Amino acid sequence: MSRTVRTTCPYCAVQCNFDLHLEDNLAVKLTPTRECPVAGGTVCKKGLSALSDLRHPDRLTTPLLRVDGALQPVSWDRALQYVQEALGPLVRHTPERLGVFGSGSLTNEKTYLLGKLARIGFGTPNIDYNGRYCMSSAATALNRSFGLDRGLGFPLSDIARSDLIVLVGANIAETLPPVLQYLKAARDRGALIVSIDPRATPGLAGLHVAPRPGTDHLIAGGLLHLMRKWGRVQPSAPVTGIEAVLAGVADLTPQRVARECDIPLGDFMRLAERYAAAYTPLILTGRGPEQQQHGTDTVSSFINLAFLCGHFGKAGGGYGTLTGQGNGQGGREHGQKNDQLPGYRRLDHPQHRREMAAFWGVPDTSLPGVGLSAQELLLACGTDIDALVVIGSNPAVSAPGAAVVRERLRALRHLIVIDVLPSETAQLATLVLPGSMWAEEEGTTTNLEGRVQRRRRAMTPPGRAREDWQILCALAEAVGRGEHFRYPTFRALQDEFFAATRGGRADYSGLSAERLDERTFQWPVPTDGHPGTPYPYQPPFAAPGARPRLYAPAMVAPPPVPLALTTGRVSNQYQSGTQSRRNPALKAQPDVQLHPDTARARGIVHGQPVQLRGPDGHTTLPANVTAKIRPGVAFVAFHWPQSANELTSATTLDPHSRMPAFKLGPVEARPATASESAPAPAPGPFVPSV
């Protein structure tokens, strides 16, 4: 039997739409649709190759329990008996010793259910997710200034209306390829596109500024200094904190900025003159400025610039931050963050606690408080945390200081992983539960512009794999807390999720599956007839007193290091590579990018194995000697084991967002010895013990 199902891409936060063509419950073809409200028929190479993931030979199709040191297939009854024996005593007596680690790839409904499971199923405060590594600094900066975090406060199509686009640590060509069409449209209208990044990356930039890593905030502060001097300061709305912000940039002269950022003075002045003359200048930040020890303050410096020059909230101008993971926006709104309840409510806010406790039918005193953030949770494993439930995430590769994190995961008494493929984390587990992939489940996702879209199930999970939401409910039953987790259908869960957001800042309560069949909506959508909110950063603001508050970062350059590590993505891979490394259409190999001057000073030649050592680990990678990176910087992608996160610090965190410092860490590099150069054996197909 032939049929076609429209759904959303499993990869990045653009969330392109395509049609799956099925024959006898097997997807045989994928067709992009021009009716997609986001990308208009554009789908990148990762999305086009996504079919190969659905029936990969490594696909997990049965529960696996570790017996005598090896993972062995077991029945669901035996798997859930293990959950009862392992987690039941913790839930009853010491729930704080149980942790939950989620993912920005989960649908909104699963995000909601996971947070509910942690707080009223397990009773633990210790839940966080891998989005802490992705968007937390920008989210913190936006929340503390405006009381609202929506990465893009405007539709993507508005980018085409900009007359100056400043990309700060945002490699759109490799991370969000469908967005390039909007940059190209702006360029064709005469816009200048500026890239501020230590690396020159593929794209449309007419000006590349390569500052010393960790000095992005000085560029923003220096621009604001000149805008004030040139009479361009005209705040977007009444605001608190303006005096401190302007005082903080008073001595950031162009000469000082050029010297401390180590950039040409002429490039900085060209950028400043274009920003001053632009009617709709747009600043877009990515992970570059965020994944630093002071990433929240760095993002605030760009927010301050856009807001004080009158561009914040303007169609085609202002400021936005680019979400990375597929449901990175929705994933940080509905309860899997350590400080959060559904609808972007705060766990430490008494009224918010009362609202959600009443909705769930439990005493508000029974809700736990704020728990450990993602990295702190992982580092507590084996000491303060006895058991960890992980869903849709691979921290054994994606967490900074990965060698340290793997050691902590091994120290757990119980590690329960829900996934679709045998990630490196799953292979450390005591129990693996086979879940559902993107084409095998219903739900909604929220893209980088806050657009809620419907994901439709096209096929059923293979073998004895189950849909993730059913697995989460089964965990609640196994520990004796199933009374709040009995849904006759997925639709019952979805309707509960929409209702749970009512009155929150991220209000989805006006949505339903039927409305989302008709069109998509940008939140908040508080009533059935509400058209959605394309521009949420408008008065009255969600900040206390409806008045934004700007924060003044310290305009101090970090001390220089001989060689600074920066990490990131490449176009043919995604996240920790659990899916993309297995996809034959997405071929890429890890390496370390070094400038010719940097390589020459260390006796390194192109293609040679290089021994790299960071604060908490080391690895060996081939050298990619290229003039596309500034001297004194080493770039390593994070999609592979034994790559970037062997070198990042396990303990250096932003004090506001608790974002780890993936950028700007010190690293040593030298030619590898013969023993260090031996390549790691290529992984074969995953075969559990029988």
Domain edges within the chain: 2-54, 64-134+328-498, 152-321, 564-677
Given a cut of 70, whether residue 650 has pLDDT beyond it is yes
- CATH number listed for the domain at residues 564-677: 2.40.40.20
Same fold yes or no, 2-54 and 152-321: no
Which residue shows structure tokens 């604001």?
224
Closest CA to 208 of 153, 259, 160, 166: 166
CA distance 202 to 558: 28
The arithmetic mean of pLDDT across residues 396-409, rounded, is 95
Closest CA to 64 of 632, 465, 663: 465
Measure the CA angle with vertex 459, ends 454 and 460; round to 5°: 110
CA distance 105 to 103: 5
CA distance 232 to 227: 5
pLDDT digits (tens, 9 = 90+) for 600-625: 999 999 999 999 999 989 999 999 99
pLDDT digits (tens, 9 = 90+) for 133-160: 988 899 999 999 999 999 999 999 999 9
**Helix (H/G/I), strand (E/B), else coil: 476:** helix
Residues with Cβ within 8 Å of residue 107, at least 6 apart in sequence:
327, 330, 441, 443, 444, 445, 455
CA distance 669 to 618: 10
For the chain, what percent of residues have pLDDT higher than 90? 75
CA distance 329 to 139: 10
Instruction: Quote the pLDDT of residue 683.
Output: 46
Q: Which fold has domain 64-134+328-498?
A: Rossmann fold (3.40.50)
Structure-block tokens of residue 80: 């859930």
pLDDT digits (tens, 9 = 90+) for 206-216: 999 999 999 99
Name residue 20's beta-bridge partners.
5, 30
- Whole-model pTM: value is 0.94
Q: Torsions phi, psi of 156, nearest 5? A: -55, -35
Closest CA to 334 of 113, 530, 483, 515: 113
Confidence of residue 681 (pLDDT cuts 50, 70, 90): very low
Q: Does domain 2-54 have CATH number 2.20.25.90?
A: yes
Given a cut of 90, whether residue 113 has pLDDT beyond it is yes
Overall residue count recorded for the chain in this entry: 690
pLDDT digits (tens, 9 = 90+) for 328-383: 898 999 999 999 999 999 999 999 999 999 999 999 999 999 999 999 999 999 99
Q: Is 9 left (phi over 0), alpha (psi -120 to 50) or beta?
A: beta
Which residue shows structure tokens 């969330």?
15
pLDDT digits (tens, 9 = 90+) for 469-520: 999 999 999 999 999 999 999 999 999 999 999 999 999 999 999 999 999 9
- Per CATH, the homologous superfamily of domain 152-321 is Dimethylsulfoxide Reductase, domain 2 (3.40.228.10)
Ranked by mean pLDDT, the top range of 38-47, 65-74, 636-645 is: 65-74
Which residue shows structure tokens 């610039």?
305
Lowest mean pLDDT of 30-34, 200-204, 236-240, 429-433, name the range: 200-204
